Homo-oligomer: A and B are copies of this chain.
């Protein structure tokens, strides 16, 4: 079976969310059923880039992870695009047999049986600023499919007050799902240098907003990889 792969890179540290700081090899799947207004991975989303996506067997994908990690088990993160529109079950089976751990980040629009084989399933429903609308029955299917994963968490990107208010509503709907908030990054052009202070200011705003609101449920984290390496690919 052939997988469309935008890039495989690492090891580097996970820059965001529940596994922040964790040494990771990333498999970035090509293709997405969403087109968020502020997407930072258009090279894995827009169909104009599809000729840059490699067609790889699950064996070839796994061999590349092994090569990058020198065969030393670590966490492998499936990202995209939306990795859930493809079948990563065979890659996960190969990796788990070799002692690797797997995480997957998806918006929660497509459920997959292989969610149950993950160590960490990150569901990232997209807030109003994305321009997308969440299909909640589909999201609930993802929750069911991931119920056997070792951990399942929710992550919401926050660009503005409307996103923040929406995140509170979503948390009300899923109060038992650990929640991570992340300030949005409006600068997504790989050629534009990042201003660390503006990222820090966005994190400070989100932190101050939640603390003043006495909303203590979510953990609030920046994208460390953007601070470290800007919007460069492959790091």
Chain A residues engaging chain B, CB cutoff 8 angstroms? 10-13, 20-23, 69-70, 72-74, 180, 196-197, 200, 203-204, 207, 210-211, 214-222, 224, 227-229
- Count of this chain's copies in the oligomeric assembly: 2
* Contact indicator B221/A20 (Cβ below 8 Å): yes
Would you give the shortest CB distance from A68 to chain B, in whole angstroms? 10
Which residue of chain B is the closest to A215 with respect to CB atoms? B23
Q: Which of B23, B210, B229 contacts A23 (CB 8 A)?
A: B210
Secondary structure of the A contact surface, majority rule: mixed
* Contact indicator B228/A11 (Cβ below 8 Å): no
Assess A12 versus B216: contact at CB under 8 Å? Given A200-B228, A203-B224, A228-B203: no
Contacts of A215 in B (CB 8 A): 23
Q: Which of B13, B22, B196 contacts A196 (CB 8 A)?
A: B196
